[in-house]
A and B are shown apart, each in its own frame.
Chain A
């Protein structure tokens, strides 16, 4: 039981490049989330999903897209990376409500030059 895993752990992009971050969970959780963590800002919700095939915007969705084609996977895409997207990205999942305990992945450190 791996819990929540994130791929990759580190990535460096140039401005304008695109990439996809992968989050996978093996706990059969319905809810999945993507957060970004910046110094002094805590965690801010980018997008979330309440089930397979559904997505919704969080607090800071601009510049990101997501997809939840399979229940266990939640992908975060950056179509045209900007330096402002330099951050640590965390994925989380919870059983069937956002009020359930969230289980977090180890994070992806992204640098955009």
Chain B
């Protein structure tokens, strides 16, 4: 079965600093990978996704992520963080289930705190 690990429960950065959120996955085949963001009291919104092709993926709000097969990682990055980026970030992997459908599995999330 597939799994997703987000090693950092919390991450604190200063506004204007760069950001990298870590995500490691476990899956036997080429995975479908996603990053979602959840603002307080809201549902989740897709930031970016990777299926195939270029391993560096651009998303909304200035985020990007890089798929590294050798490290089973899909880390999320942003060169300059804004206070409005404070939120919960979830990495997810979509993998084929025993029932024949692709089912997403989410990591436990990383809470981003932005200091002024």
A90 contacts across to B, CB distance below 8 A: 43-44
B90 contacts across to A, CB distance below 8 A: 42-43
Number of A-B contacts (CB under 8 A): 59
Q: Is the CB of A50 within 8 A of B108?
A: no
Q: Is the CB of A56 within 8 A of B99?
A: yes
**Cα A59 to Cα B108 with chains together (Å):** 14
Closest to B1 in A: A59
Q: Is the CB of A98 within 8 A of B44?
A: no
Closest to A49 in B: B101
Q: Is A102 an interface residue (CB 8 A)?
A: yes
Closest to B9 in A: A40
Q: Is the CB of B108 within 8 A of A101?
A: no
CB distance from B67 to the nearest CB of A (A): 14
**Cα A3 to Cα B32 with chains together (Å):** 23
Q: Is B17 an interface residue (CB 8 A)?
A: no
Q: Is the CB of A98 within 8 A of B45?
A: no
Q: What are the 9 A-B residue pairs with the smallest beta carbon separation, nearest first?
A: A104-B43, A42-B108, A98-B102, A43-B106, A99-B32, A99-B94, A104-B44, A99-B102, A42-B106
